[in-house]
A and B are shown apart, each in its own frame.
Chain A
């Protein structure tokens, strides 16, 4: 359903270990939401000097107060620090739900939900949706340290299995999530992976899963300024099902992409064979003339 721009009301801002979770009342967004979608928030109040909207994957929506939307963030910059300082009943300009949600399998499928840090937030509403469809759900969550592991309790409580990895070994096994992938995929007989992680991790996960012929639905975390597609800031090279590479916007064409279609090695570049890349048209014109 089409996104809406509403004036939401802050219900709570609470600390969750190293992160913050903000719940706001926004019924029109809550009812339209599907797992994997995100919202954007205008930060800094009416006289703000911060023009970019802040994009956050939705953690969960609930029916209370007519419909609430929750997202998780790290108060790292001035915009997110402003958000962390909000109080109950503060108004927020919020747009959503935006972006392509996670596609869910038609048949019963063994699903692995992989997340790193607070990027794992959107996996839990997805898990609920998958379970409703009878799909077994396994979790593989990673973080730098225990206080940066998001959703471990929920994963343990709701997943068929839950595996954790931290860089410092303070929670679960020591190491990266990718180090546990083989073991988890084999044990769970994973048929599809849903991944929410930084780009380098997604790249590794997709590469690894391709060896097992397990498809990956990857939610790409790239900086966005508008979330609606006008600013053209959040672009990445993605190959279409027609085999042609285009420079697409994560906000409208994603943020969830089929992992095998993203040109992970070409992130941050313009591949020479992308539609409209320097020299691209010339090559096709020549071949037309030759024909």
Chain B
């Protein structure tokens, strides 16, 4: 019998735990030609900002071993065009929409949260904290626990009470648990772990940085171990916290790994660049993985790798053994 794939995003129930990660599924139209957006657990939009934004000049992308380096620079249509054009289209296709928001000031974030709260059909808000803070010389909000918490508190305050707010954290910090703790204390209903890492590539022919923006966000399988580590650490500290696990998921086994580390749902990101139907494929493969290890409910695998590590005390050790018969 196929496993029960229902998953929870805070208090919201999703039909399955495989989401399209922010910035990798566009506004949904782009991938809808190849995959049914209603079949995806939820679609996290590209980060929406208050105003239209051109982003950075080209070249914006560089391929690195098992990774992609991008400095798109938050190009987007702005909240007005998103609410008029993109959100209604997604809802008409039956998609569940998590809106990623980005801002340059705390006020911008709060204003976006308020706008989204006036709109029907927003499943959750994801707060992209890896945006340059205009009030702090462009330093990312995500790099400091108090700054990150300030944004989260403003968004939680601006958003309707029944819309879950997830804070997306950067792995480029010394102590991700400290940032996670500050965001939870500020009212985050859950966390998205993790955003891309800051990286850089140099073109050895031109002897110049490969990207016009000099630095880029490194994503793809190259960063998956970092994502697994971050999810694991935060799960250790906050065993009941809903987590969207994101970072280099390309297969069902990759998704299972993040779930085992403590994610309640997963986001498929850069894999969509490589394979426009990646979300549907990862979901199918995850179902196969679960069947192979004899799990009835996907919700049961969350955090299972922690058993015997002092958390999840109630879980019987050895419940999940790949390749061994299920306990009777």
Interface residues of A (CB under 8 A from B): 2-5, 42, 48-53, 93, 95, 222-223, 225-226, 228-236, 247, 252, 267-270, 274-278, 280-281
CB nearest to A250 among chain B residues: B58
| Complex CA distance for A48 and B25, rounded to whole angstroms | 21
Within the complex, which residue of A50, A230, A252 is in contact with B25, where a contact is CB–CB below 8 Å?
A: A230
Cβ of B94 under 8 Å from chain A: no
Cβ of B116 under 8 Å from chain A: no
- Given contacts A51-B66, A225-B273, A232 and B55 within 8 Å (CB-CB): yes
CB nearest to A252 among chain B residues: B30
By DSSP majority rule, is chain B's interface helix, strand, loop, or mixed?
loop
- Given contacts A225-B68, A276-B53, A281-B52, A230 and B61 within 8 Å (CB-CB): no
Let me know if A274 and B54 touch, CB within 8 A.
Answer: yes
CB nearest to B272 among chain A residues: A230
| Complex CA distance for A3 and B53, rounded to whole angstroms | 28
By DSSP majority rule, is chain A's interface helix, strand, loop, or mixed?
loop
- Given contacts A52-B274, A230-B25, A235-B60, A247 and B54 within 8 Å (CB-CB): yes
- Given contacts A95-B34, A276-B78, A231 and B57 within 8 Å (CB-CB): no
Let me know if B54 and A232 touch, CB within 8 A.
Answer: no
Q: How far is the CB of B22 from chain A (nearest CB, A)?
A: 11
Cβ of B158 under 8 Å from chain A: no
- Sample of 30 A–B contacts (CB below 8 Å): A5-B277, A49-B66, A51-B63, A51-B67, A52-B61, A53-B273, A95-B34, A223-B61, A225-B273, A226-B273, A228-B31, A228-B33, A229-B29, A229-B30, A230-B31, A230-B276, A231-B24, A231-B61, A232-B55, A233-B58, A233-B60, A234-B58, A235-B55, A247-B75, A268-B59, A270-B54, A270-B55, A274-B54, A276-B52, A281-B51
Number of interface residues of B (CB under 8 A): 41
| Complex CA distance for A199 and B1, rounded to whole angstroms | 56
| Complex CA distance for A53 and B273, rounded to whole angstroms | 7
Let me know if A268 and B212 touch, CB within 8 A.
Answer: yes
Within the complex, which residue of B24, B31, B75 is in contact with A276, where a contact is CB–CB below 8 Å?
A: B75
| A-chain residues with CB within 8 Å of residue B29 when the two chains form the complex | 229
Q: How far is the CB of B40 from chain A (nearest CB, A)?
A: 14
| Complex CA distance for A284 and B67, rounded to whole angstroms | 39
Cβ of B111 under 8 Å from chain A: no
| B-chain residues with CB within 8 Å of residue A223 when the two chains form the complex | 59, 61
| Complex CA distance for A42 and B30, rounded to whole angstroms | 17
| B-chain residues with CB within 8 Å of residue A280 when the two chains form the complex | 52, 54
| Complex CA distance for A229 and B276, rounded to whole angstroms | 10
**How many CB-defined contacts (below 8 Å) exist between A and B?**
118
| A-chain residues with CB within 8 Å of residue B26 when the two chains form the complex | 228-230
Q: How far is the CB of A287 from chain B (nearest CB, A)?
A: 15
| B-chain residues with CB within 8 Å of residue A229 when the two chains form the complex | 26, 29-30
Q: How far is the CB of B153 from chain A (nearest CB, A)?
A: 27
Within the complex, which residue of A5, A225, A267, A270 is in contact with B276, where a contact is CB–CB below 8 Å?
A: A5
| B-chain residues with CB within 8 Å of residue A230 when the two chains form the complex | 24-26, 30-31, 272-273, 276
| B-chain residues with CB within 8 Å of residue A276 when the two chains form the complex | 51-55, 75-78
Let me know if B273 and A52 touch, CB within 8 A.
Answer: yes
Cβ of B246 under 8 Å from chain A: no
Let me know if A275 and B276 touch, CB within 8 A.
Answer: no
Let me know if B57 and A269 touch, CB within 8 A.
Answer: yes
| Complex CA distance for A223 and B273, rounded to whole angstroms | 14
Let me know if A275 and B52 touch, CB within 8 A.
Answer: yes
Which of A51, A223, A269, A274 has the most chain B CB atoms inside 10 A of its CB?
A51
**Across the A-B interface, the 3 shortest Cβ-Cβ residue pairs:** A276-B52, A233-B61, A229-B30
Let me know if B75 and A232 touch, CB within 8 A.
Answer: yes
Provide the B66-83 mask, 1 if CB < 8 A to any CB of A, else 0.
111010100111100000
Let me know if A222 and B58 touch, CB within 8 A.
Answer: yes
Let me know if B61 and A277 touch, CB within 8 A.
Answer: no
